[in-house]
Structure 1
Amino acid sequence: MLDKLALLGFGPGGWGQPLLQGAFITISIALATLPFGLVLGLLVALGKRSDNVVLRWLATGYTTVFRGVPELLTLYIIYFGVQIVLQEFWQWLGLPGAFSMPPFVAGMVALGVVLSAFTSEVWVGALNAIPKGQREAAAALGLSKAHAFRLVVFPQLIRVALPGLGNNWMVLLKETSLVSVITLPDIMFITTRANVVTKEPFLFFGAAILIYFAFSLASAWGLGKLEARTNRGMATFGGATR
């Protein structure tokens, strides 16, 4: 038993250092994907609420496609398909060398596109929950639409959307495991390789479970603190929030 646990250590023959590096890659790609997916999702949500019919159709089509296509297929399309298109464009421009998309970038874009499709629905629900009178009051005060959104709508939007966005973050943490198929050395890539070398699947996949579980616990704690902060000043009396 001790010999098996030594495989998780940092000594000779131990996989402790690669596991830490894999955990760092996992949390790095999740943190890099989050702002990209949230901002893109908000833009898609605004498109779905736009007065422009074309924008509404494009935004609706975007969410329909990327919510319906498997995440792994999206990853393959971006890593292999988009890379081929960009490579041909690179050659058409007559630029020297060859274009190569780093696996980290491809993983971030693919996961971000999927995340944006799901977060757009959260943003739309949150936007619908904010009374129209808030925007009318901002307009009455002479605020432009951009200033009204930044100063009046967005602070309320974050508070309403945060629980749904938190759920999407937890899903994103698990979906980062997909990037192992494009040779990005995340937790799943390292543990799979360690299993091939040592023939100890329960040990290393069990270690992966514990690492993901630790990330989830830390995320749940952080999201709880963030929700408490965004809800500060909101008092409930007899079931009504004031």
Structure 2
Amino acid sequence: MGYYLSLISFGPSGWGGAFLDGALITISLAVATLPFGLALGLGIALMQRSEKKWVRRIATIYTTIFRGVPELLTLYIIYFGLSLGAQRLAKSLGFSGQFDMPPFLAGMIALGLVLSSFSSEVWVGALSAIPKGQREAAAALGLHRGQAFRLVVFPQLMRVALPGLGNNWMVLLKETSLVSVITLPDIMFYATRANVVTKEPFLMFGVACLIYLVFSMASAIGFGFLEARANRGYISHGTAR
């Protein structure tokens, strides 16, 4: 038992510090990706509800692509494809040198695109749940469309969308493990390295599993609190007290 504890300790021969660093990278990537993916998803949802057919078609094509293509393939395309594209563009403009896409940025973009495609469905459902009379009442008060959305629609939208967005966050948290393949030192990156060095796969991947479980349980508690706070003042059929 002492041997196994020494392997995951924070001492010079333990991997505890590496796992801590990986956990910080994982949670940082997820937190950085969340607002980008949700904001883009909301924009796609608004496009899906547009009165213009061609705008709705673009949104449908977008969601079909990023919901249908494996997340790992999207990550590879962003990481390698954008690097190659930037190099060729620079060369055509007369610049020399090599451009390497930062792994953190590549992971954020790729996971954000995937998150936006799935969260857009949550946003569409939430937008459909907001009564049309809310917008009409806002217009009657003299609010323009932007003000009506920000002051009247969006607060109600968040209350309805929170459960679905919480699920999206859980999925995003797990999908961050994919970035280890592009050398971003996250939890899985260090777990894999530790396994290669120590030849203790059950221990090292078990530690990674526990870290993800802690993140998931903390997230469930956090979103539960947010949902309870967002629903204060509402009864079961959704009307205000």
State the TM-score, normalized to the length of structure 1: 0.96
Does 2:212 match 1:212?
A: yes
User: Match for residue 58 of structure 1?
Assistant: 58
User: Match for residue 131 of structure 1?
Assistant: 131
User: Match for residue 70 of structure 2?
Assistant: 70
Return the alpha-carbon distance in structure 1 between the equivalents of residues 203 and 83 of structure 2.
36
Return the alpha-carbon distance in structure 1 between the equivalents of residues 12 and 80 of structure 2.
37
Return the alpha-carbon distance in structure 2 between the equivalents of residues 142 and 91 of structure 1.
53
Where does the alignment leave 5 or more consecutive residues of structure 1 unmatched? Answer: none
User: Match for residue 147 of structure 1?
Assistant: 147
Kindly state the Cα deviation for residue 97 of structure 1 after the two structures are TM-superposed: 3.0
Kindly state the Cα deviation for residue 81 of structure 1 after the two structures are TM-superposed: 1.3
Does 2:5 match 1:12?
A: no
| CA deviations over 1:165-197 (Å, ceiling 9, x no partner) | 000000100000000000000000000000000
Partner amino acid, structure 2, of 1:23: A
Return the alpha-carbon distance in structure 2 between the equivalents of residues 139 and 91 of structure 1.
53
User: Match for residue 225 of structure 2?
Assistant: 225
Query: Structure 1 segments of 4 or more deviating over 6 A?
Result: none
User: Match for residue 195 of structure 1?
Assistant: 195
Return the alpha-carbon distance in structure 2 between the equivalents of residues 131 and 178 of structure 1.
40
Indicate the SS of the match to 1:233.
Answer: coil
Kindly state the Cα deviation for residue 96 of structure 1 after the two structures are TM-superposed: 4.6
| CA deviations over 1:129-163 (Å, ceiling 9, x no partner) | 00111111111111100110000100000000000
Indicate the SS of the match to 1:14.
Answer: coil
Matches within 5 A, 1:162-177: 162-177=162-177
Return the alpha-carbon distance in structure 2 between the equivalents of residues 126 and 97 of structure 1.
48
Kindly state the Cα deviation for residue 164 of structure 1 after the two structures are TM-superposed: 0.1
Kindly state the Cα deviation for residue 13 of structure 1 after the two structures are TM-superposed: 1.1
Matches within 5 A, 1:46-125: 46-125=46-125
Return the alpha-carbon distance in structure 1 between the equivalents of residues 151 and 140 of structure 2.
14
Kindly state the Cα deviation for residue 11 of structure 1 after the two structures are TM-superposed: 1.3
Kindly state the Cα deviation for residue 95 of structure 1 after the two structures are TM-superposed: 3.2
Return the alpha-carbon distance in structure 1 between the equivalents of residues 238 and 83 of structure 2.
53
| CA deviations over 1:85-107 (Å, ceiling 9, x no partner) | 12111222223532221000000
User: Match for residue 156 of structure 2?
Assistant: 156
Partner amino acid, structure 2, of 1:57: R
Indicate the SS of the match to 1:42.
Answer: helix
Return the alpha-carbon distance in structure 2 between the equivalents of residues 30 and 182 of structure 1.
16
Partner amino acid, structure 2, of 1:210: L
Partner amino acid, structure 1, of 2:53: V
Return the alpha-carbon distance in structure 2 between the equivalents of residues 93 and 140 of structure 1.
54
State the TM-score, normalized to the length of structure 2: 0.97
Return the alpha-carbon distance in structure 1 between the equivalents of residues 229 and 30 of structure 2.
23
The number of aligned residues is 240
Matches within 5 A, 1:15-34: 15-34=15-34
Partner amino acid, structure 2, of 1:65: I
Kindly state the Cα deviation for residue 225 of structure 1 after the two structures are TM-superposed: 0.7
Q: Percent identity among equivalent residues? A: 70
| CA deviations over 1:30-63 (Å, ceiling 9, x no partner) | 0000000000000000011111221110001000
Return the alpha-carbon distance in structure 2 between the equivalents of residues 5 and 71 of structure 1.
35
